[in-house]
Amino acid sequence: METVSTTRAHGGTQGVYRHASAATGTDMTFSVFVPDHAPGARLPVLWFLSGLTCTHANVTDKGEYRRACAEVGIVFVAPDTSPRGEGVADDPAWDFGQGAGFYVDATEAPWAPHFRMRTYIEDDLPALVAEAFPVDMARQGITGHSMGGHGALTIALRNPGRFRSVSAFAPIVAPAHVPWGEKALGGYLGQDRAAWRRHDACALIEDGARVDELLVDQGEADAFLAEQLRPELLRAACEAAGIPLTLRMQPGYDHGYSFASTFMADHVAWHGARLGR
């Protein structure tokens, strides 16, 4: 692992790091905020998955999470959204290819060799973080924004018991039924819609996957709300499955980081209450 940069912030250390990923076959960059702590202490960890077009830098620069993480003593990890670099397939569209990995392991050419973001997030990066940082992997939470909200929900649902807390900002809750998801899942996984179900939060819940509870914030002025995000489908799926869902519709807020950063401290505190038990 290579240290790209470190800086002091809010009584902690914000770092950016690079490593060679076995999952993607590329170098991957990620950021980690570690609050100051007693020698030998192991802290809970909160994973933040970013959305379309983003890198680790979007939330690192604009997420406004550090003060809240320092107050509750949580390590905050922000990965990239896709593999990048020479020889990595790409697409001219902003919602597919590099910057739009959708947290799946691609099976279709030309994406399959490198676009293995499910394995990267579920296995590769956690193993590195557990070795290199003072984290308690028995106390993990996960959250994300937009495409990253989709990733947070599906990864938690596929890994029961791994995450003590799960939340999302404006998540794509049913990608098999919206244009962004149909394009991505079809392109990466092929046209067999049965294979898409393990990458669709609502389908996973319908098929029996469970988490203890969910917190979701959604802006009512989000331009993508009706066509791409469809939070009402998550509400229906959770009601049918008996999963407690706190869905907060926020008047006047759009889809960007002005929205996500406004409610970031709420989410960090919510995770902290569950990870601190």
Q: Each residue of 128-165: pLDDT tens digit? A: 999 999 999 999 999 999 999 999 999 999 999 999 99
- Residue of 11, 19, 44 lying closest to 272 (CA atoms): 44
Which residue, 188, 57, 77, is CA-closest to 126? 77
Q: Which domain holds residue 234?
A: 2-276
Residue 108 pLDDT exceeds 80: yes
Report the alpha-carbon distance of residue 196 to residue 218 in Å, rounded: 24
Reported pTM: 0.98
CATH number of residue 42's parent domain: 3.40.50.1820
Mean pLDDT of 192-200: 97
Neighbours of 116 (CB within 10 A): 24
The H or E element containing residue 75 is strand 75-78
| Average confidence score pLDDT of the chain | 97
Q: How many domains does the chain have?
A: 1
- Which single residue is written with the structure tokens 């499955």? 241
Say yes or no to pLDDT of 265 above 70: yes
Read off φ and ψ for residue 70, nearest 5 degrees: -65, -35
Output the 3-class SS for 34-49. EECCCCCCCEEEEEEE
Catalytic residues, which ones?
146, 222, 255
Give the Cα separation of 148 and 164 in Å (integer). 18
Phi, psi of 32, deg, nearest 5: -140, 130
